[in-house]
Amino acid sequence: MELTFADIKVGDAASFSKTMTESDIVSYAGLTGDFNPIHIDAEYARESMFKERIAHGMLVSGFISAVLGTQLPGPNSIYLGQTLEFKLPVKIGDTVTAEVTVAEKRDDKRILKLKTTVTNQRGELVVDGSAVVKKVGL
């Protein structure tokens, strides 16, 4: 069921989890053209500070968009802005959870300010940020 703007309250939260696969990383590289060897080349990555391949930061933060567009605020939402801070790398096999929490609600313009985070399976913060979204329609 789609949430109406009136249904949404400060403090409401929603999340989405996904285990990062090699296929996810290769597909993202193909779609965006970002073939940075830290993501694609195992030998190169072994010599890096991470010691293995890591997921693209924007791929990981894209899971925030999944929450915004499907759950909270859900369909009929327009992204107005997003800030992101990449805190830790995400590696193949890591399970990440993107969480969105309503921080502020502006009724006159139907705008929401949201706290956005992505954590790994150990509960470590890998992406921190905020988003501004306008709810249209309902």
Output the pTM of the full model: 0.91
Q: What pLDDT is attached to residue 73? A: 94
pLDDT, tens digit, 9 for 90 and up, residues 10-50: 999 999 999 999 999 999 999 999 999 999 999 999 999 99
Q: Which of 75, 71, 116, 79 is nearest to 96 (CA)?
A: 116
Do 56 and 24 form a contact (C-beta atoms < 8 A)? Answer: no
pLDDT digits (tens, 9 = 90+) for 76-117: 999 999 999 999 999 999 999 999 999 999 999 999 999 999
Neighbours of 137 (CB within 10 A): 12
